[in-house]
Amino acid sequence: MKILYSIDEEPPIPILTLKIYSPRGDKNIVLAFKVDTGFAGGIMLPYDVYTELELTLAEEPYPLIGRFATGSTIKLYRAYTKVELEKSIKFHVYAYSSPYISKKLVGRELLNKLKLLLNGPQKTLEILDNP
């Protein structure tokens, strides 16, 4: 499966579209995530999406500290949830959020479960085989 990079930014950026499920499985939302190999977690969600999906129900009982590249820190919330890539590739990963976060990122926790080819010259992300 080949996915074109998003041209909404310069330079273009690889994206993955994922369906994120609520802890009960009764709600889901489909979002495009920037591929960010510098983010160690599974997915980063804006806080309004995190609460809309009721991920607070599956949240770990203690907040974490996130660190930005600038060195500043932020309190993060983390919940274990199911995500789906294309209708057949499903994973359980940690979703991270904070009221101060508006980005949608997919990080190494999920990326390391896939065999990917980032082809910059062709501006495509290719999933080479299903896990």
pLDDT at position 131, please? 53
CATH number of residue 92's parent domain: 2.40.70.10
List, in order, residues 6 or more apart from 104 with CB less than 8 Å away: 31, 32, 33, 34, 43, 44, 45, 46, 49
pLDDT at position 64, please? 86
pLDDT at position 86, please? 82
Could you report the per-residue pLDDT of 58-91, keeping only the tens digit for each?
Answer: 988 877 888 777 888 888 999 999 999 987 789 9
Range of the domain at 19: 2-129
pLDDT at position 130, please? 60
Distance separating alpha carbons of residues 39 and 109, to the nearest angstrom:
9
pLDDT at position 44, please? 96
Q: How many domains does the chain have?
A: 1
pLDDT at position 5, please? 95
Distance separating alpha carbons of residues 12 and 75, to the nearest angstrom:
30
